């Protein structure tokens, strides 16, 4: 079942760029990454899905219901963490969470305590006095409190220290195991790589690529770095699949894509002092989408 | 209901302040009435020395000034000015504060329709005006009995009720403006500007004596000398107010439902 379906979703603000003709869908139980540089339109897309702003053209549905017409109904099962969290200042953390829970038809007291404990959030503090990272924690607890079927996260980790990021990822993993669909928007590629099954890449308001994380990695180059005790002939690695070869002292670096047997055969014949064959990260795979004059990619 | 209670809680403090301030204004000015009534003749000669235009602008006619209701008309001039500011603050502020305080993303991602949000916020603001008026009207009634021997309570109440009537109109206007204007950074300066603007238009209308000009400002919908003389409101202005209230409120709902709520 499709939890989320965007169909030619377009939002323009006068002359300013919004999003243009964004089409993709998210399956139930999937963790879906939504990445792009700042200003690519990630938040615009999310805010349109939540009917905070209205689309200029196109449509979107969540749980099979129209995002605009049945917005209030849909939101019963959505947990949302906005990128910038600001809450009613005169409230304590607990007041805010109770207020948040009061919009849903369930008792969230137990889960509130549990989540606050996991995120080391002091329920008695005034929200006004909290640091940015702690406000973010309030946002996380608020978003997961009512056990939504769909969690929408917009840059959720900014401001969190590494330990808390780790806790947060654990929480998301538990949600995923419960069958919750997670829509994870970020410009930090490693997070998306770690968490998500599929990813959509947005650039300048347009969807430039939609792919499984695993497929992306398969099609990608491996990064090879080795050091040899003896000098290596300059054309030793002149073979199919090798590119971007660089040499520096005794170290040889290149990218490889193709038959690994051929490569390991070559390497086995050398007398090596060190060898690294690394998976590329998303950063490298997508870097060219981020560059301004990147070739226009086809939508898969 | 949770939304209404949250809104009401956030208005509690200002409601209390406004209620007490309005009641205190009435207390201060009405407390002067007994000595004023005694020396009415002196005041009359003093007032006569002012140019006729000034007398008109303030809506004072010495013939009625010496009576309680005449004097109270003068008190209400200040009270309704302050009350209009309270109402305009509420109108401009209620819907726009979510964007200003950046809580719109929190509220609007909850399972509530925009219609319900408007209703709860308007409800809380009306509750605030209701409490303010309950306090003010009670204070004004008690004070009337204390400062004057014989009170025409019917007319006195009619005069008093011009306060909530003026407030409602300013509130509804503020609401509509708050959904039309793209972003309100600060409520108070805008509110003061608008209210004083209407107030001066009202003064000019009084000086010119042009009936058409009265339609332009809620401050002149309820002509106090007329109320004192007839113990009634002018029905065409009551109808006009009702029509405007319906129009502004309906406009608010329609526009807020369609409005893009931007971040930042």
Using pLDDT thresholds of 50, 70 and 90, give the confidence band for residue A299: very low
Cα distance between residue B123 and residue B139, in whole Å: 24
Q: What is the distance, to the nearest Å, from the Cα of residue B138 to the centroid of all Cα atoms in its chain?
A: 17
| Separation of CA A281 from chain center | 13
Residue B111 and residue A72: Cβ atoms within 8 Å?
A: yes
What tokens appear for B151 in the block? 């009170």
B261–A88: do the CB atoms touch at under 8 Å?
Answer: no
For residue B87, give the nearest of B245, B213, B236 by alpha carbon.
B245
CB contact under 8 A, A100 and B112: no
Q: What is the pLDDT of residue B188?
A: 95
Spatial separation of the C-alpha atoms in residues B237 and B248, rounded to whole Å: 16
**Local confidence pLDDT in tens for the 264 residues of chain B:** 899 999 999 999 999 999 999 999 999 999 999 888 888 777 777 777 777 777 776 666 666 677 899 899 989 999 999 999 999 999 999 999 998 888 999 999 999 999 999 999 999 999 999 999 999 999 999 999 999 888 899 999 999 999 999 999 999 999 999 999 988 889 999 999 999 999 999 888 888 877 788 899 999 999 888 999 899 999 999 999 999 999 999 999 999 999 999 875
Choose, out of A66, A75, A145, the residue to mutate when testing the contact with B (most B CBs < 10 Å). Answer: A75
Instruction: Test A89 with B261 for CB contact under 8 angstroms.
Output: no
Sign of the C-alpha dihedral, residues B126, B253, B92, A102? Answer: positive
A162 exposed, middle or buried (CB, 10 Å; 0-12, 13-18, 19+)?
Answer: exposed
Work out the burial of residue B95: count CB atoms within 10 Å of its CB; fewer than 13 is exposed, 13-18 middle, 19 or more buried: buried
pLDDT at position A286: 67
Using the CB atoms, write b or e for A202-226: b if 16+ within 10 Å.
Answer: bbbbbbbbebebeebbeebbbbbeb
Q: How far apart are CA B152 and CA B86, in angstroms?
A: 28
Each residue's pLDDT tens digit, B2-57: 999 999 999 999 999 999 999 999 999 999 998 888 887 777 777 777 777 777 76
Q: Determine, for residues A87 and B106 on separate chains, whether the beta-carbon distance falls below 8 Å.
A: yes
CA dist., res. A28 & res. B162, Å (int): 59
Nearest to A50 among B6, B101, B109 (CB): B109
How far, in Å, CA of B146 to CA of B42, rounded? 23
Residue A241 has which token pair? 């699949």
Both ends of chain A: CA-CA distance in Å? 20
User: Cα A46 from chain centroid?
Assistant: 13
Tokens of B123: 């409800």
CB burial readout B182-220, b (16+ within 10 A) else e? eebeebeebbeebbeebbebbbebbbeeeeebbeebbbb
Question: What distance lies between CA A64 and its chain's CA centroid?
Answer: 23
User: Would you state the pLDDT for residue B144?
Assistant: 94
Name the minimum distance, in Å, from the CA of B262 to any CA of chain A: 7
- The torsion angles phi and psi of B29, rounded to 5 degrees, stand at -75, -40
**What's the pLDDT at A293?**
46
Of the residues A10, A14, A71, the best mutation for testing chain B's interface (the one with the most B CB atoms within 10 Å of its CB) is A71
CB contact under 8 A, A52 and B108: yes
In the structure, what pLDDT confidence band is assigned to residue A55 with cuts at 50, 70 and 90? very high
Which among B10, B109, B258 has the least Cβ separation from residue A80? B109
Instruction: For A204-239, write each residue's pLDDT tens digit.
Output: 899 988 889 888 777 677 888 999 888 888 888 888
Instruction: Give every CB contact of residue B54 below 8 A, 6+ residues apart in sequence.
Output: none
Q: Which residue of A has its CA nearest to B99?
A: A86
Angle of CA points B235, B241, B246, to nearest 5°: 130
CA distance B29 to B73: 11
Q: How many residues does chain A have?
A: 300
Tokens of A10: 């377009």
pLDDT at A283: 67
What would the pLDDT profile of A70-112 be if each residue is shown by its tens digit? 999 999 999 999 888 888 878 999 999 999 999 998 889 999 9
Contact between chains at A82 and B111 (C-beta distance less than 8 A): no
């Amino acid at each position: 079942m499709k939890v989320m379906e965007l169909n030619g979703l377009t939002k323009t603000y006068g002359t300013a760029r919004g999003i243009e003709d964004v089409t993709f869908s998210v399956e139930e139980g999937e963790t879906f990454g939504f990445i792009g540089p700042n200003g690519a339109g990630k938040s615009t897309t999310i805010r349109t899905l939540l009917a905070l702003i209205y689309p200029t053209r196109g449509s979107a549905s969540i749980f099979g219901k129209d995002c605009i017409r049945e917005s209030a109904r849909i939101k019963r099962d959505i947990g949302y963490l906005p990128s910038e969290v600001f809450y009613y200042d005169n409230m304590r953390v607990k007041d805010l969470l109770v207020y948040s829970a009061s919009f849903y038809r369930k008792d969230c007291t137990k889960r509130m305590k549990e989540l606050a404990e996991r995120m080391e959030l002091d329920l008695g503090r005034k929200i006004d006095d909290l640091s940015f990272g702690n406000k973010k924690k309030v946002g996380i607890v608020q978003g997961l409190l009512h056990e939504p079927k769909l969690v929408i996260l917009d840059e959720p980790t900014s401001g969190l220290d590494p330990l808390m990021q780790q806790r947060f990822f654990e929480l998301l993993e538990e949600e995923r195991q419960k069958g919750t669909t997670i829509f994870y928007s970020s410009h930090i590629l490693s997070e998306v790589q770690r968490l998500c099954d599929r990813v959509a890449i947005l650039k300048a308001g347009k969807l430039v690529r939609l792919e499984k994380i695993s497929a992306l990695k398969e099609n990608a180059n491996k990064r090879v770095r080795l050091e040899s005790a003896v000098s290596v002939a300059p054309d030793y690695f002149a073979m199919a699949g090798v590119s971007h070869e660089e040499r520096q002292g005794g170290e040889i670096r290149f990218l490889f894509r193709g038959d690994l047997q051929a490569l390991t055969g070559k390497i086995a014949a050398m007398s090596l002092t060190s060898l690294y064959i690394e998976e590329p990260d998303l950063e490298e795979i997508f870097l060219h989408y981020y560059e301004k004059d990147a070739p226009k990619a086809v939508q898969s | 209901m949770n939304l209404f209670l949250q809104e009401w809680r956030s208005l509690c403090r200002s409601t209390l302040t406004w209620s007490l301030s309005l009641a205190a204004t009435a207390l201060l000015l009405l407390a002067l009435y007994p000595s004023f009534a005694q020396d009415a003749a002196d005041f009359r000669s003093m007032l006569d020395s002012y140019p006729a235009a000034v007398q008109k602008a303030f809506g004072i006619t010495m013939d009625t000034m010496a009576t309680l209701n005449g004097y109270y008309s003068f008190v209400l001039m200040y009270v309704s000015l302050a009350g209009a500011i309270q109402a305009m603050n509420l109108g401009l502020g209620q819907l726009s504060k979510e964007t200003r305080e950046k809580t719109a993303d929190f509220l609007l991602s909850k399972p509530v329709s925009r219609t319900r949000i408007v209703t709860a916020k308007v409800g809380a603001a009306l509750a605030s005006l209701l409490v303010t008026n309950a306090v003010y009207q009670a204070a004004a009634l008690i004070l009337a009995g204390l400062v004057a021997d014989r009170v025409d309570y019917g007319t006195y109440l009619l005069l008093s009720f011009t306060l909530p009537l003026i407030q409602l109109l300013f509130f509804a206007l503020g609401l509509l403006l708050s959904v039309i204007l793209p972003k309100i950074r600060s409520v108070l300066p805008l509110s003061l500007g608008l209210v004083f603007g209407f107030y001066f238009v009202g003064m000019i209308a009084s000086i010119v004596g042009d009936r058409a000009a009265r339609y332009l400002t809620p401050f002149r919908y309820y002509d106090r000398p007329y109320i004192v003389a007839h113990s009634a409101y002018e029905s065409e202005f009551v109808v006009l107010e009702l029509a405007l209230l319906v129009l502004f409120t309906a406009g608010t709902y329609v526009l807020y439902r369609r409005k893009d709520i931007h971040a930042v």
